[in-house]
Each structure stands twice: as structure tokens, then as C-alpha cells.
Structure 1
Amino acid sequence: MDTVKLNNLSEKLLSYMDFIEGRYQEARKSQEKGDFYTEVKPFADEVKAINDAWKEEAASWVRVERPKHIHFKQIESAYDQIEMLSVQAFYPETSRTRFINYLQSVKYILKVMVDELKLNL
């Protein structure tokens, strides 16, 4: 388990969340879907690579460190929600309420992790 690596991955996912939020707002405003092969898939694949590495490191960190405010179920939920958000951001018909709820949930978990990790770096 590498806390520096986990912190970097968490920070990277947070920056993706900012991009995803902006991309979704853009899609809602223009009412245009992103092109699946040139936009959606390449971005989702890029996020998935980081997300996969993050989940592995985060699960290990939770098992070893037993942080007070983060549990394995939250890691799994955030992982799944990141996967969904990375695709749904490109589609204006995505439910706004659900999108915002997932986004806020993921951001919360990532921020708590980053704060917790910074105490131990």
C-alpha cells in the first residue's frame, strides 16, 4: 500500500470530477450528445484506468489503516459511480438529480480520503 500513490490517484479523480461536472453542464446547455467513439469511450477508458488503480490502493489502505470515516462499501460505491459519471457526463438526457447526487457523493469520499491521507504523509 502506497499512500502517496493513493493520494495522487484520489487527486486525479477529483480533477476528473470537475471536468465531468463541466462536461455535463455543457451537454445539458447545448442538448448535444458527445460522440461515443471520439469523445465518450476514450475519456471513459482513461478514467477507468485511474479508477481501477485507485480502487485497488484504496481497498488496501482501508484494510490496513482502518480510517474512521471511510469504509470499503464507500470505496466500492464511489468506484461504480465514477464509472457511470464518466459516461453519463456526455449525455444531456441523464437525470440531473441522480447525476448531481452521484457527483457529490464521489467528491465527498475523495475529499475525505485526501484529507485523511494528508495527515499521514
Structure 2
Amino acid sequence: MDNQKVYILTLKLIQENQFLLNTYMNVRESGMAKDFFQDVQPYCDELKAAIDEWLPLAVLWVETNQPKHLFAIQLKNTAENLQMVSVRAFYPETSLKRFKSHIQSIDYVLNRLKDELEG
């Protein structure tokens, strides 16, 4: 199994999560939603491809190595949450509390996996 690939993809998703938080804060401040077909859909499609590549590798790594306090279901939920916030980040009417909660949850799981991979 290629731990390096899982690690690199995990780092990419951590960066994307931070990008989504920054995007949301900028959109919320400006009050202007982004265009779905020009901005939102291309970004979401690109992120989904990265998530689809990361998830099976990460789940396999967790099932093989069985780290404490990290389970495959958390990775699956994180993938779903990332896809959800990737759309909601571009709209100012998204609930701040709920959005930040999802971002923090994603960040926790991804950083937990990163720490385990660093060993």
C-alpha cells in the first residue's frame, strides 16, 4: 500500500478545506454568491475527483493499520461533509455556525489521519 499517496491526498484535502473556509468568509463578507456554472460546479467536480481518489485509499489504510480513535466511517462522513461544504461555501446565506462546525469536523479527521500517517 502506498502510504505516501494517502498522505499527499490528505494534505491536499486539508488545504482545500482551508480554501473553502476562506472562500465562505469572503463570500459572506461581500454578500455576493458565486455563479454556479462558472465557479461552483467546476470547483466541486475537481474536489470530488480528489475525494474519490482519496477515500478508498484512506479507508484501506485505516482498516489495515487500525489506528486508535480513527475509523472508516469517519472518513466516509468526512468525504460527504467535504462535498457538501464545497457547494455551500459559495453562498452567503449558508449558516455560519453550521458551516464552521462542518469545517472543524473535516479538519479534525483529516489532521488525525495525517498525524497517524506521519507515525
TM bracket (short chain): over 0.9
**What SS does the aligned partner of 1:79 have?**
helix
Distance 1:96 1:56 in 2: 30
Q: State the Cα distance separating 1:62 from its structure 2 match.
A: 1.3
* Amino acid of the structure 2 residue aligned with 1:21: L
Alignment correspondent of 2:7: 7
- Count residues in correspondence: 119
Provide, for residues 61-95 of structure 1, a one-character-per-residue CA deviation record: whole Å limited to 9, x for no partner: 11111111210110111010000011110000111
Q: Distance in 2 between matches of 1:35 and 1:45?
A: 15
Counterpart-to-counterpart distance in 1, 2:14 and 2:93: 24
For 1:60 and 1:105, how far apart are their aligned partners in 2? Answer: 21
Residue 41 (structure 2) pairs with residue 34 (structure 1): no
Shift of 1:100: 0.4
* TM-score w.r.t. length of structure 1: 0.96
**SS of 2:70's equivalent?**
coil
Residue 46 of structure 2: aligned partner: 46
Letter in 2 for 1:89: A
Please provide the CA RMSD for this pair.
Answer: 0.7
Report the TM-score, using the length of structure 2 for normalisation. 0.97
The runs of at least 4 aligned residues of structure 1 exceeding 6 Å deviation read: none
Residue type at the aligned position of 2:21: E
